[in-house]
Structure 1
Amino acid sequence: MKKPTLPIHHGFITSVATFVFVLFSSHLWALEITGTVGLEKRHFNDQESFLNQDDGGLSLKFQAEIRHKWDDNQKVITFVPFYRKDQTDDDRTHGDIRQLDFIAVDDNWEYQLGIGRVFWGVAESSHLVDIINQTDAVENIDGEDKLGQPMVRASYLYGDGAVSLYVLPYFRERTFASAEGRLRPQLPVNTDDAQYESSKEKNHIDYALRLQHTIDEIDIGLSYFDGTSREPDLIPNLINHTLTPYYPQITQLGLDLQFTGEEWLWKLEAINREFKHDRFHAEVAGFEYTIPRFMESYMDLGLLLEYHHDSRGEVAAARLQNDLFLGSRMVFNDLGDTECLLGVYLDQDNNTKSYNIQFSRRFHDVFKLHVEAQLFEDVDKTDPLYDLRNDSYISVEMEYFF
C-alpha cells in the first residue's frame, strides 16, 4: 500500500509556493502563526476481525496555520500544513497540505487560487452536498476530515448571498487504512492500483457552481458538480485479494436548506447524482431544538433528530440509506467551553446500531481534551458496517495550542 504523504501535483505546489514566498518576503511583519500539537491514544475494545490487526496505539498530530493579510485585509494568504505519525498503521502516518491559497477581494468579487478547503451542508449526521474536498478517511470514519483541494474560485458577492464558480484542476484520491489497520473492509484497499473512468485520471478538470442566498430566517444553497466522484467504488481483485478503488465520472445537483428560529433549526440536504449508466437521489432531513438554561442550569441542551434516505435502498454501499439519527448536544457555557454530543444511528431495515460520543474541554487556554467513542452493536451481515462490527473504539487526545 502506498503511503499518502503529501499526494499533490508537485508542479502545482511549486507554482503556488513560489508565489507565496514572494509575497511573504515583502510583508513579513504581518505574519500570523498559530497551530496545534496533539497526542492521541486509540483503543479498540474487541478482538480484531482480520489477521495482524492491532488493538490501537499512540499517534502524534501536528497542524499549523500561517496567515498573512494586507491591503486592509482585502488580500490574504493562508498556509495550513498537516502531519500525523501513527504508531501502528503505516497508512495513517501521512501528511497533507490542508490549505495553501491566496484570496483577494475586489468590490463585489472574491478570488481564490491554490489549495483550499470548502464546506457545504447543514445536517449534523452526514453532509450529502459536500463534494469539493476529498475525505481523509484514515483520520476518522465520520467524514469530517478533508484533504486539501487544488482550485481556482471566483465568487460574486451581493447583499443576501453569493454565486461561486470552482475550477478543480487536480484530483485527490481517498485515503484508506492499511491491511494492519483497523476500521477497514474485509479485503484491504490497494490504493496503488486506483482506476478511473476518465482517461485523464487525476488530471481531469472538475467544475462546480454554487448559489448561496438568505431570505429572512432561511438559508438556501444550490450546487452543481461535474467531474470525478469523491466516493470510489471498491472492486474485488481476486488475484491479489484486495479491493481496487474505481473513480467514475458524475454530475450532481445539490440542495441544502436551513430555517433558524429562536429554539429551532430545521435542516434539509438533498442530492441527485448521475453516472454514465445510472442515477440515484438521497436526502437527509431533521431538526435541532435547543433548551436554554436546561433545568435552571447554565447548560444549553440541544435535541437532534435526522432521517436519511437513499433511493438505491439496501444495495447501496452508503452507510446511511434508511436510517434514523437521534442525538443530544450539551453546551455547558463554562470557562472551559465544555461540550458533549451523544448520538445513535438506527438502521430501519435491520437491528444495526452505531453510537457516537464526543466530549471536549479546554484547560488553561492552551490545552484541549477530546474524547470520542464509536460503538457498533447488532450489526447485520447485509449492512455496510459489517466489516467494522469488532472495531468499536475509544479515542483520547490532548491538544496543545500555540
Structure 2
Amino acid sequence: MITRRPGLAALVLGLCGAVAQAREQVQILPQTQAAEQELSAKIALKRYFFTSSPADGVDDDSLPGTAQLGLDYQYLQSWDNLRLRLVVNPRYLASAKRDPRPDFYWDELFVLLEQDSRELKVGRIKEHWGVMETRQLVDVINTYDNLDGLQPEEKLSQKALKLGSSLGPGHLSLYLLDGFEPVQFYREPARFAAYRVQSEAEYIHGADRDGLDVAARYFVSVSDLDIGLSYFKGTNRAPAFRTAGDSLVAQYTEVTQWGLDAIWVREQWLYKLEALDQRVSDSAYNSRKLSVGLEYAITRAWRDADLSLIGEYHRDQDQRLAPVSIFDRKFLLGARLELNDAHLSSLFLGYTAQASDLGNNMLSASLDLGLSDALRAGVSAVLVNSSSSDAVWDALASDSHLALELSYSF
C-alpha cells in the first residue's frame, strides 16, 4: 500500500484557490462567458413487500422502506477553451432505525477543470466502468451500497483526484484514491443480508482503510470496437469473510488488479466482454473472472419501442479464501424494451440461473415509468428459487419481493 500523504481536503482547497486566482486574471478578457448555475431537487420514496417469511433469525423490520431527499447543484464557468464545473449533490436518507447507513451523505462533491482533451477532477466522485448487465467486473473505483436489494446499483462516492488526457488514439485516466467506503452490513441478519457480520472489519496483507490507492484506465474506440484496459492497486472494494463463532468477519486485502472490458457492434448485434485478474500477496485470495455477453437489437419492435434481447454468462476461478462469488457458472437471459416515449420509460425482464443447477434461479422484472417531466414511478419484482444445493442461494430464497418507488423532481 502506498504511504499515506495529506488528504484530498488540502488538494481541494489548493485547487479552489488556484481557480479563484485564475478567474481574477481572466475576468478582464472579453472571451469570458457568463456563469451558468443549475439547482434541482428530488424526493424519492421506496417500499418493499416480501412474499415469504424471513429465514430463521432474520430481522424482518430492517428494510421496510426508505425516503430520500436529494439536491443537485451545478456551477459552470467558461473562458475560451477552459471550463470550470462545480458539482454539489447532498443527500438525506430516512430509513429504519437499524439501518447502518448515515442520514446525510454526499452523492457527489467535486470540482472539474477541462481544457481541450484534458481534465482534472478532485473531490467525491463516481466512475462507471464495465459493459455487462448482471455485474461489472472492472468497476473498482466505488463501493456499492449492498443494503438496497439483491442486485444493488447505488454507488458510494469515492474521495479521489483524477487526471485525464488524450493519448494516442484513446484517452488515459489516472486516479489517486484517498481511502474508501467499506461495505456496510446490518449488525443482525436482515433481508438481503442473512448472515451476522461483525462491525469491525480486518485489514490484512497490506490493506488500509485510510490509505492511498492508485488506478488507471485507457479507453480506445476503433471503428465499431470499444476497448477499456484498467489497472488498480490498493484495498479491495469487495471483502472476503472468515467465520468467527456464529458470525462472519469481513476481511479486506491489498490487491493488484488488471481488467479488460470491450464492446463490439456489428449491425444489430452487440458483443460484450469483461475479464479480471486479481492478485494478493497471499495467493489463497487470488481470483480470475470472466463475463461474456451479447445483445440483439430490434428497432420499432412495437410501435416506437425498441427491443433488446440479452444473454450473459459468467465464469469465476477463485482461490479458497477469495471473496465469495455468486456468479460462477451463472447466466442471464433477458429483454429490455425502451418505449421511446416523452419521458423515456422502459421495461426489463430477466431470468438468471446457475448453469450447474437450474433449480437455483431468479426471475426479475422492472418497470421505470415516466408519468410527467417531474414524476416517475418504478415497480420491480424478484422471485428467487433454490434447490437447497448452494448455501448462498438458500440464504436468498426467502427474499423474493416486490418494490415500489415514486420520485418527484423539481
Q: Normalising to structure 2: TM-score of the pair?
A: 0.87
The one-letter code sitting in structure 2 at the alignment partner of 1:154 is L
The one-letter code sitting in structure 1 at the alignment partner of 2:161 is V
Q: For 1:380, what is the secondary structure of its paired residue?
A: coil
* In 2, Cα distance between equivalents of 1:311 and 1:387: 22
Q: What's the CA shift for 1:395?
A: 0.6
CA separation of 1:272 and 1:399: change in aligned 2, threshold 3 A: same
Q: What's the CA shift for 1:173?
A: 0.6
Q: In the alignment, what sits opposite 2:364?
A: 356
Contact 1:137–1:174 (CA under 8 A) maintained in structure 2: yes
Q: What's the CA shift for 1:19?
A: 7.0
For residues 247-284 of structure 1, the C-alpha deviation after alignment (integer angstroms, 9 at most, x for no partner) is: 01101110000012332211100001111122221111
Q: In the alignment, what sits opposite 1:3?
A: none
Q: What's the CA shift for 1:246?
A: 1.0
For residues 52-98 of structure 1, the C-alpha deviation after alignment (integer angstroms, 9 at most, x for no partner) is: 62265232012221111112571111112223211364225643212
Q: Alignment partner for residue 388 of structure 1, among 396, 406, 409?
A: 396
Contact 1:57–1:88 (CA under 8 A) maintained in structure 2: no
Moved more, 87-96 or 63-72: 87-96
Q: In the alignment, what sits opposite 1:288?
A: 295
Please show how residues 316-395 of structure 1 align to structure 2 within 5 Å: 317-350=324-357, 351-395=359-403
Q: Alignment partner for residue 270 of structure 1, among 267, 272, 275?
A: 275
Q: Are residues 1:179 and 2:188 paired?
A: yes
Please show how residues 185-334 of structure 1 align to structure 2 within 5 Å: 185-186=194-195, 188-191=196-199, 193-197=200-204, 201-238=208-245, 241-278=246-283, 279-294=286-301, 297-312=303-318, 317-334=324-341
* In 1, Cα distance between equivalents of 2:17 and 2:57: 47
* In 1, Cα distance between equivalents of 2:227 and 2:206: 36
Q: Are residues 1:45 and 2:51 paired?
A: yes
In structure 2, stretches of 5+ residues that fail to align are 1-5, 25-33
* In 2, Cα distance between equivalents of 1:129 and 1:251: 12
* In 2, Cα distance between equivalents of 1:313 and 1:248: 14
Q: What's the CA shift for 1:352?
A: 0.4
CA separation of 1:190 and 1:115: change in aligned 2, threshold 3 A: same
Give identity over the alignment, percent. 25
Q: Alignment partner for residue 144 of structure 1, among 144, 149, 153?
A: 153
Contact 2:207–2:252 (CA under 8 A) maintained in structure 1: no
* In 1, Cα distance between equivalents of 2:17 and 2:87: 12
Q: In the alignment, what sits opposite 1:34?
A: 40
* In 1, Cα distance between equivalents of 2:320 and 2:370: 42
Larger Rg: 2
* In 1, Cα distance between equivalents of 2:387 and 2:41: 39
Question: Number of residue pairs matched?
Answer: 388
For residues 106-147 of structure 1, the C-alpha deviation after alignment (integer angstroms, 9 at most, x for no partner) is: 343211111110110011111001001111112333242111
Please show how residues 59-98 of structure 1 align to structure 2 within 5 Å: 59-72=66-79, 74-87=83-96, 89-92=98-101, 94-98=103-107
The one-letter code sitting in structure 1 at the alignment partner of 2:65 is L
Moved more, 132-141 or 242-251: 132-141
Q: In the alignment, what sits opposite 1:122?
A: 131
* In 2, Cα distance between equivalents of 1:124 and 1:52: 29
Contact 1:211–1:222 (CA under 8 A) maintained in structure 2: yes
Q: For 1:389, what is the secondary structure of its paired residue?
A: helix
* In 1, Cα distance between equivalents of 2:295 and 2:269: 6
* In 1, Cα distance between equivalents of 2:331 and 2:118: 41
Give RMSD over aligned pairs: 2.8
In structure 1, stretches of 5+ residues that fail to align are 1-9
The one-letter code sitting in structure 1 at the alignment partner of 2:370 is R
For residues 293-319 of structure 1, the C-alpha deviation after alignment (integer angstroms, 9 at most, x for no partner) is: 115x22211100000000239997111
Q: Normalising to structure 1: TM-score of the pair?
A: 0.88
* In 2, Cα distance between equivalents of 1:352 and 1:21: 56
CA separation of 1:281 and 1:198: change in aligned 2, threshold 3 A: closer
Q: What's the CA shift for 1:378?
A: 2.2
Contact 1:89–1:180 (CA under 8 A) maintained in structure 2: no
